[in-house]
Every structure is written in C-alpha cells, then in structure tokens.
Structure 1
Amino acid sequence: MALWDELVDTVLTNLAAKRHLFNTRLITLAPQPALPQTFAGPGPWDRATIEIYTDRASVQQWLTINGEACIQDDEADQKLILFSGNDYMCLSSHPAIRDAAVKAAQEHGMGPRGSPLACGYTTYHKLVEESLAQLMKKQDCILCSSGYSANTAVMSAVGSVSSLLAVGRKPTEDERIAIFSDASNHASIIDGIRHMERMQEGVAFVYKHRDMSHLESLLIFSMGSNFAPLPELVELREKYGFLLVVDDAHGTFVYGENGGGAPELFGCQDDIDIVVSSLSKAAGCMGGFIACSTRWKRLILSRGRSLTFSTALPVPVVASVYAAIHVSKMERWRRSVLLENTQYFASLTELDIYNPVISVVVGSEDTVLKAHRFIFHPNFLLPYHIDSFIFSSFIFIFKCSHLLRSGFLVEPIRPPVVPPNTCRLRITLSTAHSSDDIKRLVDALKPWLPVKQAR
C-alpha cells in the first residue's frame, strides 16, 4: 500500500505547512491501573447481565395502548431473560471492570473534561490505545466517544485526501476519492459517506451485500448476522491496491484466540489498513476506537470532525475498558462458551448461523407484529397501528405446561431500520445464557423458524 502511504504523507505535509496538523495533548494521571483479577469460569455477576427485572409501573407504561392496560395487574411484575443486548461476553458486570471504574472515579473523578485535542486525553487513554493497537496488530489507535463517531471520523478523513492534495483548487472528478460500501453497512458508515459527498470530497459506490463479483465490477453488515468475506476482500485489495477499512463492532473480543475479532479469526490482520470497532458491545463498556497506522492517526485526528468536536471518554470508563481488554484476553473460556451457545441455537433451529447475532426474518410489518402477538401472553392485545417507538423493546412470554412461565426480551426490527418486507426478530446470545434459556426461546420461536427437513 505504498501509494496510499505516499498520498497521506503528502497530505500531512500540506496540513503541517498550514499549521492545521492537530494532535492530542497528554495529561498525566497517576497511578496507572493495575492488571485486574480474572477467573477460570463464570460467576454470579455473569447471570446478572441477562436477568432483567421490571417493576409494575414500567410494564404498564410499555404495554398500555390508547390509555388501556394490555396486561392484568396481578401479572405486571416480571423477570425477563434478555436476548437483545450486545454484552456478548458479559463483561459489563465483571468484578474487575467494576473495580477499575470505581478506583479511577475515586482517584480522578471523571477526569479532565474536554476534547482529546484540548485537555481530555490522559495517560489512561494512551494506555488503552496502546493495548488496543497491540491487540489489533496496528501501529496506533484512536479512542472515540462511540463507534458511530469513529466511523464518521474515518470517512471524513479518507474523503478529505483528494481536496488536501489539490492545493488551491477544487479536485477534478478523476482526483476525487471513491469509496465502495457494502449495501448492508451500518448507519454510521452511511452517514459518514453522505457527509463526505456533501462536502464534495469524494464519491460513493454501493455494492450488493457480500457480493465480491459486483464489487470487482465497480472497481474497474448492521442488522444482518454474517461475516464480511474478509479473505476475498484482501485478495481484491492486493489486486487493485485500494484502502481496506473494516468495521468489526460485533467481532472484537468475540473472535480470535486473543479476541482480535474477525481479522484475527481469518488470519488477515496485517492485510487490513484500518479497523473500526466498538467498546460498547463485547467489551461491556462504552466508546469506540480506530486501529490504524501512525500516519493515518495523525490525519484522522486532524480531519475527523466527530473527534475534534467531541469530549473525550471519562477516565473511569477508559479504566474499565483497560480492564475489559485484559479480562477478555485472559478469560478465553468466554469465547468458547459463546461459540457453544451459538452452535446449540443453530442445532435446534437448523439456521445457518456462525455468530451470536441472529436475525429471524419474518417478512412484512404485519407479520412481525403477528409474531409478537402470538408469543405474547394471551392478555396482550397489540393493534397493528401501535407507534414504532413502543416497539423498540418487547416482552416475549411463552406459556408451556411442562415449564414455569418464562419471559424473553427480544428486539423486533422494522423499517426504516431495515428495508420493507424484511422485518425480523433480532436475537443476541451471550456467555451467560444457559442451554435451558436457549431451548425455551427456540420453543417460543418455532412458528417463525424454518421447518426442519426429515433426515
């Protein structure tokens, strides 16, 4: 990727000449966090991440339609099993993560509050960036307030290359940066590309989801549940010399021997130029990051508007992220348990799934609402015209004669989040789910699962 390195170096020189080359300002906070305690197996704190207790008033508020309660008062108190969270590794309640946040808060409060380019960047932030860069096998890393801001910052920086090279003039059509984006990419990537296009810094081409032939023809996933074809993308990168940026928000800490995500799983970490990921999912904390080369870090810090104009993550959050990185690396059994749960769900449903994010596509909006109504308790009467905001979370209850009544919180996905007639039930598994939890959920979902073929 020598060509891209030369382009970015030229851009950095031009920015430096204008005194527009920014960098973080390091604030020293001591002492540095110690390595946290880890465990050889699950503890009670793991189960706490998926057991959700609702009070009577909350349930009534969720399920009251047009001023009329849709649940009997004596059944309002409910313990739910969460199947919609992103805390796949159940680290959010881990004692080491809790202790790290508490200790940092006691010693430093929230820490200095400001942009990383002003006063919000501390030795804690630097330590986490170094740890993430090592995990992702990159020269450097940038901590971001969210995965959303990380993606928009990368798109802004990449798109700015053409205008920064065309000093004193508008870049021609042939000089503009072309970005090729999967049709199912996350909204943050799409929004970053749209901003780039509005600034007339680049042009975008959208290829069919996971369709490498379509991508290659253009060259001469978000609510889904499959991998990007990284080996094929790497081959195309070698052939055409494009910059390969991968969003691994749902893969970091989940896959790979050390938790390096999908790139580590497929053995192609060295062949990906920039990795964008989240700290709000499998890390159980908050924020996002960009793992990249040092030259790209300098450019993104200087041209990534979502970084320049955002306050840095609070120190207790950063301390908890540092603990999560270590716990994830040491407690490798968590990835094994998560894989076993995924395989068990697949065996019960015969769905072709390989990761803990599972989409059960049921079709139209009417169909997905019928699916909800069918597996609700009979006292739940939900009309089709219910406001979409109310459907952001649901109680799934299934009654079975040989089991105690159990409740499941499952996320329904409808337009505009997904295209029309592709409404789905989005299920996420974690290390804390038991085989019994999964079996009972599958029993409740049977009317909308593919019919098993006779063997």
Structure 2
Amino acid sequence: MDKLDFINKELDRLKEAGLLINIRTVEGPQGAWITVDGKKALNLSSNNYLGLANDLQSKTASHNAIDTFGVGPAAVRTIAGTTTLHKILEQKLAQFKGAESTISFQSGFCANLAVIPAIVGKEDVVFSDELNHASIIDGCRLAKTRVIRYKHCNPEDLQEKIQVEKDIERKLIITDGVFSMEGDIAPLPEIVEIAEKYNAITMVDDAHGEGVLGRGGRGIVDHFNLHGKVDIEVGTMSKAFGVVGGYIAGTKQLTDYLVQKGRPFLFSSAVTAADVSACIAVVDTLNKSDCLVRKLWSNTGFFQERMKQLGYNLGITKTPITPVMIGDAKMAKEFSQKLFEEGIFAQSIGYPTVPAGKARVRVMLSATHSEKDLTWAIDHFERIGNSFNILERRFEA
C-alpha cells in the first residue's frame, strides 16, 4: 500500500462533501472589478476594504523604496534587517493607534504566533472566544498553554469560567475584534471589565477592525474608547491597509519584550522595504481623511439593507463582512459557482471554517464599489436566490 494513500482518500472525502477548496487565480490588481480565471467579475471576496491595494500613493512609495533600499532585507530584524522605514512605520502606527509603541511583523498571523507564546506558558491559562481565528489557536498550541474556550461573544460565560480559575497567577483573555466569518464585533468593554476584576491580561486581534472600526479606521479599541485598557492589540496591514504585514500595539515595555522573545521577529526575515513604505503611505492617507472609511460603511448599509429586503439571512453581522447564509455546503458551493458564471466573485465557506450546516457565501464589501455595482450584484443575487429556492425557505442561521 502506498504510504501516502491517505492523502488521496482525504482529498476524495473533501470533494464528495463539497468541501474541497477551489483556488481561483486573479490576473491583475485588486479593485471593484477584477479578472479571475480569465473572466471579468465584480469582486466581492477581497479584504481590500478601503480599496488601497492598488492605491497610486502606495505604489509610488513602494517604487521609491525599491530604488533606495532594494528588493529584499536579506536579514532578520535583530541582525541587519531593520531599516529606517521599519522604525518610521512603527512610530506612525503607534501615533495612529494612540498607543505608546508598536512592533511590526511579517503578517498578522505571525504577530499572534509571536506574542501568545511569549506571554503565556504551561502553567498559565488562556480564555479564548470559541470562534477566534486559526492564528490564535495555533499561537496557543505553540505556547503549550491550557486553553479554556468561552461561548462566542458571551461575557457571562467568560465570567463563569474565569471565576473557577481565579487563583491562576497568569491569565490571558483573547478575542477577535471583528469575527471574520460572522462579521460581528466582540463585546470588548465587558471583556475589559472582567479582566480588570480578575487581574487578567487582555488581547484583541483586530485584523478585520483595522481601517473599518473607530475614528478613521483606528480599530476596535478606539471604537469603544478603551485606550490604555487593552494590554495587547494585534493588527494587520494585509486587509484594509491593502499591503501586507502585521503589528502589535501596546506599551514600550511590551514591544521591547517582544523584540527579545517574539520568534517570528527573531527568526524570519524582515518585511521588504517596498511593503513597509506602502504601509507608511496608507497610515498617512488614513490620518488625512476618513472619506474611504465613510464610503465603506455607506456601501455596507446599502447592500445589507437591500439583501435583507429580498429575504436573505445575513446572520449577526455588524460590519462590512456579509455572510449570505445558505446552510448546505454543496449548495453554497453551487451558489458561488452560479454567481461566478454571471460575473460575481463571491466565495463559499463551509466546514470546518464554519460549523457544519452553516455554510455561506461570504460577501466582502469595499469602498471601491459604486452603488451601481452593488445594485447590479443585488439583482443577480435575487434571481439566483430564487432559482435555488433560498429566498422562499429563509434559512435560519
């Protein structure tokens, strides 16, 4: 028997269950309309919330950085990979976030892998929302710490579980800021209150809140006016910023510590000058104006209200993340394929990313979309929804 035969069996199982991931290829820059697998389509799948992935200022900054610093850092940050650009970005991010200090990483995923094992270990306990991102789950696994999952966005359940562990010396509460599959927002004020009561460290992964929530996109801590109340803020520059990279905001004590203990910082090459320079340009853009953030929310309100009027169940979203609930994974995949055939790129999401029976087509809205684009998309959703009898049966999330 082939020792790798289990791979084919698992691939066959995923295909039969309608869970095999089909990776489509984008040909060209991100925008409202893109070319995917040779077909022009309205882009409703990208995390490019503010339309900055193809921003002229960011591209110019990247070109200039390549001319000055070259294409690669050729070292980790602690040896020869830290440039003046990295220091400028971290200073500007700290000012933007209203934090004392920031430290940047190769991605938001790397930021979580850096900070969690540096903060907690075998003798400690992490309280984690049951729907937290995979990078948080993997960070906890690397830390080899005990993890207690609390019910999604349920402060009462968190309170009950932390009460049982109140005598543990080091306790860390971790939550996503905005949940990527549901689109809802963590009850951060209540979480902070519980943390203060039980002397727990607080951490929020604001990947989908950066550029979306708060004044001019400053994130969930700003949204709830909790500056100085959250110990660790993890952010990404790979979504609303339209570039790539991650960072952690907090006290200088925290970032100094992570320079010494954050393994992705210590053992993986620095982010390229081109990317860092583009991120600097984005921070400057957001500091100047909140017009892109306002446009994003205007599009969100327009699209979601019209979809609800049609009879679609959009779950519990409170953000531009718009889960169009289908239920069955195979049907969701077929629904997504039908959308694509008609010129709409919106991917289906099924188990294990979301619970079995809760498959959906996840629509990601952007400031790049015009009202005409969204009206056109809504018309197609109405016709396709009727053909699948989805609007008649009103699937409940």
In the alignment, what sits opposite 1:194? 141
Residue 280 of structure 1: SS of its match in structure 2? coil
Output the amino acid matched with 1:267. N
Displacement of 1:238: 2.2
Residue 40 of structure 2, aligned match among 79, 92, 95: 79
Contact 2:73 2:271 in 1 (8 A): no
Residue 178 of structure 1, aligned match among 91, 112, 125: 125
* Distance in 1 of aligned mates of 2:82 and 2:101: 15
Change beyond 3 A, Cα 1:353–1:416: closer
Structure whose CA Rg is larger: 1
> Equivalences for 1:276-315 in 2 at 5 Å?
276-315=234-273
Q: Are residues 1:237 and 2:173 paired?
A: no
**Over the residues paired in the alignment, what is the CA RMSD in angstroms?**
1.9
TM-score for the superposition, normalised by structure 1: 0.71
TM-score for the superposition, normalised by structure 2: 0.81
In the alignment, what sits opposite 2:31? 49
* Distance in 1 of aligned mates of 2:250 and 2:368: 33
Q: After the TM superposition, which of the residue ranges 295-304 and 87-96 deviates more from structure 2?
A: 295-304
Contact 2:45 2:363 in 1 (8 A): yes
* Distance in 1 of aligned mates of 2:284 and 2:157: 40
Contact 1:247 1:276 in 2 (8 A): yes
Contact 1:365 1:414 in 2 (8 A): yes
What is the number of residues matched between the two proteins? 339
In the alignment, what sits opposite 1:13? none
Contact 1:342 1:353 in 2 (8 A): no
* Distance in 2 of aligned mates of 1:52 and 1:245: 36
Change beyond 3 A, Cα 1:450–1:206: farther
Displacement of 1:192: 0.5
In the alignment, what sits opposite 2:6? none
Output the amino acid matched with 2:63. V
In the alignment, what sits opposite 1:436? 372
Q: Are residues 1:217 and 2:175 paired?
A: no
Residue 77 of structure 2: SS of its match in structure 1? coil
Deviations 1:220-257 (A, max 9, x none): 13322111111111221222221110000011122222
> Equivalences for 1:45-444 in 2 at 5 Å?
49-54=31-36, 58-59=37-38, 78-110=39-71, 112-160=73-121, 176-197=123-144, 202-220=145-163, 221-350=179-308, 351=314, 353-372=317-336, 375-376=338-339, 395-397=340-342, 407-444=343-380
Change beyond 3 A, Cα 1:180–1:313: same
* Distance in 2 of aligned mates of 1:213 and 1:190: 22
Residue 210 of structure 1: SS of its match in structure 2? coil
* Structure 1 residues without counterparts, runs of 5 or longer: 1-46, 60-77, 163-175, 377-394, 398-406
Residue 52 of structure 2: SS of its match in structure 1? coil
Displacement of 1:396: 4.7
* Distance in 1 of aligned mates of 2:277 and 2:336: 40
| Structure 1 segments (4+ residues) deviating >3 Å | 448-452
Contact 2:30 2:53 in 1 (8 A): no
Output the amino acid matched with 1:357. I
Displacement of 1:278: 0.6
* Distance in 2 of aligned mates of 1:188 and 1:353: 21
Deviations 1:189-224 (A, max 9, x none): 000101112xxxx31111111011111111013322
Displacement of 1:48: 6.4
Output the amino acid matched with 2:239. K
Contact 2:350 2:360 in 1 (8 A): yes
Displacement of 1:119: 0.8
Contact 2:336 2:346 in 1 (8 A): no
Contact 1:184 1:222 in 2 (8 A): no
Contact 1:243 1:273 in 2 (8 A): yes
